């Protein structure tokens, strides 16, 4: 058996190692375009910023180890330039010598990844416009960062853009972010990311949303970035990271089916429509685990598992890929954003039915020092309570909660299961009622009708709708909380006084109760429902109301 | 509806709050023996140690708030002294006045918790022998700790014993631990706790295992603790925390069924055999989620959920309790031990079939600074791969992995599901192949026959068994690793040279390959199997071998 793998990072490296374990006799050729297979691409921004000091650290599996330990025929600086499927061979160019040759295969694995999108912007190929895909890019960016640069512009505020910005700031560089969307980190919902946007600005970063770079004008002492708005920025260098595109040219030229967003179409064994050719990692189109629809989700974990599955299938193992659910985390200047499954915007885009709740817990018991806040948003099916997705933003413990919900999604669990989850508790680690339980209680309470809720976005629409009488806004927080800020036109009756002051509430008009986070609002809703009022609780409370105000500012 | 709740902490408090939300009309009486309902009992050791500085922090739900917000009739320093089930009433003693009275109920909830076991040791009731159950105990211990004490003895190394020891050391007190078992933290398996034992000793704590206190002799300037071994210790005070016992006397006197370990027998609605009487929290006997057998597992999370379920059932909700799986975490001088489900010792005790694997990953990618090691042990059904339990010990990220596996157990997932888990990854948060995936890969590899393993305990037995030829011990680590220490009589062939040196291996004798943690040993096993050798991989590698040597020292 001769296996040729095109691309030696993540999916390709996993496929190679797994194939070797399954067959010590197989001939395994790995063609890698760069100098290093299996390098730590997710670590590159931190190498630029100096958090990872040694470049060697990024070479997670040195070539010599792969050659000796796994007996892989690794050819660096080698590019596959043509698939000759009929002859089952690949045409290869050796970038070092310029020579070309053909290599035959019994099975071929395409692991070519995704390349940074380079929009057709004037001047984008200039020497001061950087990208971050491979180690050479990281070296170049690091050189700029430690070479006396004082100002940088990052175009694109996705994962890599945010990580690059954080690391440039770590180097003391005055950094500006330009993002086409009206929020940072587009995979998350906007109201969830709003507090991070303030946090990023608090670090001294300029953030321009709904803005685009239109030209890069190079000069000996810097670069001018012309913006869509007409303004222009000056910097020592710019970094463009506006997303990635599957590097599937080789496959499509060879007639392999690709999806609308460029990913190679594969079955659940990672096999393309040519049974001798597999594709793994960012170059493939995957099935979304939640919606079962085709999707393009570049992530390292799935790439690694896919590589393993392709190798399994080559050696007649029944492994199958279950689809990608989009579990992701990103560090944002000491804060954390994590998510899994569908976002609300994706559900809206697909016209899916969903319900949502928000809670604002701390990572561990408030009475133990060092507790940090987070906001957790849970999206679920309003009919059966199936969990569709979750997002969490805050400090410590954020990715833990998303990992737990990621497992729940994998297991087709419902919000009712989250109520019953039994998780680790000691005061420095969590809560006797963990945020996961709380999210389950609130969501299940909504579905059972115990807690009718109103969403901030619906309330905003309602308040602007002249055809309907606005709800009576009941703020059940303390008088001092109310005095410090409240929803316009709200009436303050602290929860402790509510039962004595029922006479002050309207019986002919819906009431929207709220508190800071939703808990006292829930109790108020329970009390008022039992006294015959038409009442809902504002989900996420005044905290979330403020987020939306921010988002609309 | 009149509900009387005996006990106002955890389960009792949850039941009261839930009942109020379900019925604003119900009369809810809470009888609490101490001065404070709903105090943070899990925080008490940290209050003693000063990590939690203010006593007020422990009063998580002040009485006034419970009274005003939830309209609970809270009676502190009130003890139920008799259940008069026929009349559906409780006889109550007011500790303040000494008066007694009866209180009628429609529904009664017993949430009396568990009390510290006080073994019949001479002198145990002396003023220098402390316990830690309520705030008065915490106050007393804190007074001792800050009152000039320099030496303390902690009898019992369970959760509370370890937490108390850590906090006495935090106060600069020379601390000695006495434990009857041959390990700290008995719920965990011994080889998992071995490194923590060294860690505790490294903090200056004296640890005496397989040892017991036999008498406490009080004197004006201290206390002498006479040990079973004949030795004696001198200290300023002693703390006895050798476990808890359900405080079910009231229930048993009233003829309610209790289990062999004293817990009140309840159905899955937390109802005792008197349909008008419920029991929740540490006073109940629960069903073990994994084995479905009766168990006595005192934990705060389950207590809270049980309180909620009892209240639900009183108001005709169909909530049911699924059983307790024993998810727990404890901080040990900056390290962490967490577990969920069955331990190996429990499986052995029950005669259950199981298989196990060990891995030694780091919490996040090794190339990103600050990664901390952990050992993860996974116990599973050798037939279908169902997850039976897991234990994890180390630094950061330990409780996250146990929480993830706790969800997997709740969802009846298998080791094959862990292979496919999609979890958060960025280099500072995890791995593209998370420890959870790795545990799944290894366990599934064992079940699929890809990786025959040998356990250290089996190897030790084998080496001592004169009736069988010992295995050929093959150390595939580097020469320098081998030189630094290895299993006696092992032969070193570094994995990189293995294929060239197959001739040096016996074909008529089983081979046990090992490396540091198990990964290179796995590759060696794969290579040798394919070359026709009879080979197994030593699970957990040399790292685990050393643990066992430690344990037997």
CA angle A340, A346, A350 (to 5 degrees): 130
Cα A166 from Cα A207, distance rounded (Å): 13
Shortest alpha-carbon distance between residue A360 and chain B (Å): 17
Give the pLDDT of residue B546: 93
Give the pLDDT of residue B463: 93
Which range has the worst mean pLDDT, A411-415, A466-470, B275-279?
A466-470
Give residue B548's pLDDT band: very low, low, confident or very high (50, 70, 90). confident
Would you tell me which residues 120-159 of chain A have a C-beta closer than 8 angstroms to some C-beta of chain B? Answer: 159
Residue B286 β-bridge partners? B295
Residue pLDDT, tens place only, A147-163? 999 999 999 999 999 99
CATH: 3.30.420.480, 3.20.20.540, 3.40.30.10, 3.50.50.60. Which one for B2-114+245-314? 3.50.50.60
Residue pLDDT, tens place only, A536-552? 999 999 999 998 886 55
Give residues with Cβ within 8 angstroms of A60, minimum separation 6.
A38, A39, A40, B366, B367
Cα A535 from Cα A531, distance rounded (Å): 10
Give the pLDDT of residue A438: 98
Nearest to B43 among A42, A367, A526 (CB): A367
Check: CB of residue B336 under 8 Å from CB of residue B394.
yes
The answer to whether the CB atoms of B400 and A400 lie below 8 A apart is yes
Closest chain A CA to residue B524: A21
Cα A12 from Cα B75, distance rounded (Å): 67
Residues of A belonging to the active site = 515
Give residue A59's pLDDT band: very low, low, confident or very high (50, 70, 90). confident
Give the pLDDT of residue A368: 96
Cα four-point dihedral sign B263, B269, B272, B277: positive
Cα A104 from Cα A116, distance rounded (Å): 30
Domain B2-114+245-314 identical in fold to domain B129-242: yes
- Conformational region of residue A528, where left means phi above 0, alpha means psi within -120 to 50, and beta covers everything else: alpha
Give me the mean pLDDT over the B321-340 stretch: 97
Closest chain B CA to residue A54: B367
Give the pLDDT of residue A219: 87
Give residue A210's pLDDT band: very low, low, confident or very high (50, 70, 90). very high
Give the pLDDT of residue A551: 56
User: What average pLDDT is seen over chain A?
Assistant: 96
* Mutate: best of A364, A386, A403, partner B, most B CBs <10 A: A403
The answer to whether the CB atoms of B426 and A523 lie below 8 A apart is no
Check: CB of residue B405 under 8 Å from CB of residue B415.
no
Which spans in A151-266 are helix H? 159-170, 190-202, 249-253
Residue with tokens 């429609």: B106
Would you tell me which residues 247-276 of chain A have a C-beta closer than 8 angstroms to some C-beta of chain B? Answer: none
Cα B478 from Cα A69, distance rounded (Å): 12
Residues of B in contact with A422 (CB under 8 A): 289, 299, 301-302, 305, 324-325, 327, 340, 406, 410
Q: Where along chain B do its domains lie?
A: 2-114+245-314, 129-242, 334-447, 453-552
Pick from B152, B194, B165: which is nearest to B332 by CA? B165
Give me the mean pLDDT over the A300-306 stretch: 96
Shortest alpha-carbon distance between residue A231 and chain B (Å): 35
Q: Which fold has domain A453-552?
A: Oxidized Rhodanese; domain 1 (3.40.250)
Check: CB of residue B265 under 8 Å from CB of residue B272.
yes
Report how far Cα A193 is from the mean position of its chain's Cα atoms.
Answer: 11
Residue B324 β-bridge partners? B288
Give the pLDDT of residue B219: 87
User: What average pLDDT is seen over chain B?
Assistant: 96
The answer to whether the CB atoms of B424 and A520 lie below 8 A apart is no
Please, what's the b/e burial string for B471-507 (b: 16 or more CB within 10 A of its CB; e: otherwise)?
bbbbbbbbeebbeeebbeebbbbbbbebbeeeeebee
Check: CB of residue B519 under 8 Å from CB of residue B481.
no
Domain A2-113+245-314 has CATH 1.10.132.10: no
Residue pLDDT, tens place only, B26-45? 999 999 998 888 788 899 99
Cα B512 from Cα B534, distance rounded (Å): 9
Report how far Cα A99 is from the mean position of its chain's Cα atoms.
Answer: 41
Check: CB of residue B369 under 8 Å from CB of residue B202.
no
Query: What single-letter DSSP state applies at residue B259?
Result: -
Would you tell me which residues 441-470 of chain A have a C-beta closer than 8 angstroms to some C-beta of chain B? Answer: 450
Please, what's the b/e burial string for A473-506 (b: 16 or more CB within 10 A of its CB; e: otherwise)?
bbbbbbeebbeeebbeebbbbbbbebbeeeeebe
The answer to whether the CB atoms of B52 and A369 lie below 8 A apart is yes
Report the relative pairing of strands B535-538 and B511-514 from DSSP bridges: parallel
Where does B334-447 sit in CATH, by number? 3.50.50.60
Give me the mean pLDDT over the A198-206 stretch: 97
Give me the mean pLDDT over the A313-325 stretch: 96
The question of whether B258 is a catalytic residue gets the answer no
Is A21 in the B-facing interface, judged by CB distances under 8 Å? yes
Is A201 in the B-facing interface, judged by CB distances under 8 Å? no
C-alpha separations of A92 from A8, A97, B513 in Å: 15, 12, 39
Pick from A24, A19, A8: which is nearest to A62 by CA? A8
Q: Is B263 helix (H, G, I), strand (E, B) or coil?
A: coil
Residue pLDDT, tens place only, B70-89? 999 999 999 999 999 999 99
Instruction: State the burial class of residue B220 (Cβ atoms within 10 Å of its Cβ: 0-12, 13-18, 19+).
Output: exposed
Give the pLDDT of residue B553: 40
Cα B43 from Cα B61, distance rounded (Å): 14
Residue pLDDT, tens place only, B281-304? 999 999 999 999 999 999 999 999
Q: Cα Rg for chain A, rounded, in angstroms?
A: 27
Q: Is the pLDDT of residue B552 over 90?
A: no
Closest chain B CA to residue A432: B301
Q: Is the pLDDT of residue A20 over 50?
A: yes
Share of chain A above pLDDT 70, in %: 99
Residues of B in contact with A446 (CB under 8 A): none
Residue pLDDT, tens place only, B349-384? 999 999 999 999 999 999 999 999 999 999 999 999
Residue pLDDT, tens place only, A462-517? 999 999 999 999 999 999 999 999 999 999 999 999 999 999 999 999 999 999 99
Give me the mean pLDDT over the A252-274 stretch: 97
Cα A355 from Cα B148, distance rounded (Å): 58
Check: CB of residue B152 under 8 Å from CB of residue B173.
yes
Is A437 in the B-facing interface, judged by CB distances under 8 Å? yes
Give me the mean pLDDT over the B513-541 stretch: 97
Q: H or E stretch including A343?
A: none
Share of chain B above pLDDT 90, in %: 94
Give the pLDDT of residue A552: 52
Pick from B6, B550, B88: which is nearest to B310 by CA? B6
Torsion angle, alpha carbons of A414, A416, A422, A423, to 10: 60
Is A403 in the B-facing interface, judged by CB distances under 8 Å? yes
Instruction: State the burial class of residue B532 (Cβ atoms within 10 Å of its Cβ: 0-12, 13-18, 19+).
Output: exposed
Domain A129-242 in this protein, CATH class: alpha beta
Nearest to A424 among B328, B365, B367 (CB): B328
Q: H or E stretch including B167?
A: helix B159-170
Q: What is the DSSP string of A28-86?
A: EEEE-SSS-SS--GGGHHHHHHTSS--GGGG-SS-HHHHHHHH--EEETTEEEEEEETT
Tell if the pTM clears 0.95, that is, is over it: yes
Beta-carbon count within 10 A of A246 CB: 26
**Residues listed for chain A:** 553
Query: What single-letter DSSP state applies at residue A122?
Result: B
Check: CB of residue A289 under 8 Å from CB of residue A273.
no
Closest chain A CA to residue B45: A427
Nearest to A422 among B51, B68, B327 (CB): B327
Beta-carbon count within 10 A of B97 CB: 8
Give the pLDDT of residue A60: 78
Check: CB of residue B541 under 8 Å from CB of residue B516.
yes
Q: Is B330 helix (H, G, I), strand (E, B) or coil?
A: strand
């Amino acid at each position: 058996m001769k296996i040729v793998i095109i691309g030696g990072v993540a999916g390709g490296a996993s496929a190679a190692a797994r194939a070797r374990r399954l067959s010590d006799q197989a001939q395994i050729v790995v063609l890698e375009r760069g100098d290093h297979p299996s390098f730590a691409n997710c670590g590159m921004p931190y190498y630029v910023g100096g958090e990872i000091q040694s470049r060697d650290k990024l070479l997670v599996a040195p070539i010599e180890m792969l050659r000796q330990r796994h007996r892989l025929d690794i050819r660096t600086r080698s590019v596959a330039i043509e698939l000759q499927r009929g002859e089952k061979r690949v045409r290869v160019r050796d970038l070092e010598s310029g020579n070309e040759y053909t290599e035959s295969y019994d099975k071929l694995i395409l692991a070519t990844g995704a390349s940074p999108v380079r929009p057709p912007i004037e001047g984008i190929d200039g020497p001061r416009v950087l990208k971050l895909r491979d180690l050479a890019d990281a070296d170049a960016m690091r050189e700029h960062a430690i070479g006396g640069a004082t100002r940088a512009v990052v175009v694109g505020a996705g994962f890599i853009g945010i990580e690059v910005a954080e690391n440039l700031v770590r180097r003391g560089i005055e950094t500006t972010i330009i993002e086409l969307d009206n929020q940072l980190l587009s995979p998350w919902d906007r109201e969830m990311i709003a507090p991070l946007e303030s946090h990023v600005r608090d670090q001294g970063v300029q953030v321009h949303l709904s803005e685009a770079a239109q030209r890069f004008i190079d000069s000996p002492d810097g670069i001018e970035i012309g913006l869509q708005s007409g303004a222009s920025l000056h910097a020592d260098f710019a970094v463009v990271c506006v997303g990635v595109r599957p590097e599937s040219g080789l496959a499509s030229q060879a007639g392999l089916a690709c999806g609308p967003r460029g990913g190679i179409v594969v079955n659940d064994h990672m096999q393309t429509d040519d049974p001798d050719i597999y594709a793994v990692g960012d170059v493939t189109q995957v099935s979304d685990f939640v919606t079962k629809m085709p999707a393009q989700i570049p992530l390292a974990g799935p790439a690694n598992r896919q590589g393993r599955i392709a190798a399994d299938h080559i050696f007649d193992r029944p492994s199958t890929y279950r689809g990608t659910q989009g579990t992701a985390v990103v560090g944002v200047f000491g804060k954390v954003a994590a998510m899994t499954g569908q976002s609300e915007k994706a559900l809206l885009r697909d016209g899916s039915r969903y319900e949502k709740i928000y809670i604002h817990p701390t990572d561990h018991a408030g009475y133990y020092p060092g507790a940090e806040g987070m906001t957790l948003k849970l999206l679920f099916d309003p009919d059966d309570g199936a969990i569709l997705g979750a997002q969490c933003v805050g400090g410590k413990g954020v990715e833990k909660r998303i990992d737990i919900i990621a497992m729940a999604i994998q297991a087709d669990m419902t919000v009712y299961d989250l109520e019953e989850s039994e998780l680790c508790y000691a005061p420095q680690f969590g809560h006797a009622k963990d945020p996961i339980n709380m999210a389950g209680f609130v969501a299940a309470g909504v579905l059972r009708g115990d807690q009718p809720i109103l969403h901030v976005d619906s309330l905003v629409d309602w308040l602007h709708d002249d055809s309907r009488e606005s709800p009576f806004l009941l703020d059940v927080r303390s008088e001092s909380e109310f005095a410090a800020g409240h929803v316009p036109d709200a009436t303050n009756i602290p929860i402790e006084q509510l039962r004595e002051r029922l006479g002050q509430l309207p019986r002919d008009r819906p009431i929207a109760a709220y508190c800071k986070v939703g808990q006292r609002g829930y109790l108020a809703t329970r009390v008022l429902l039992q006294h015959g009022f038409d009442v809902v609780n504002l989900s996420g409370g005044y905290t979330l109301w403020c987020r939306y105000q921010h988002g609309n500012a």
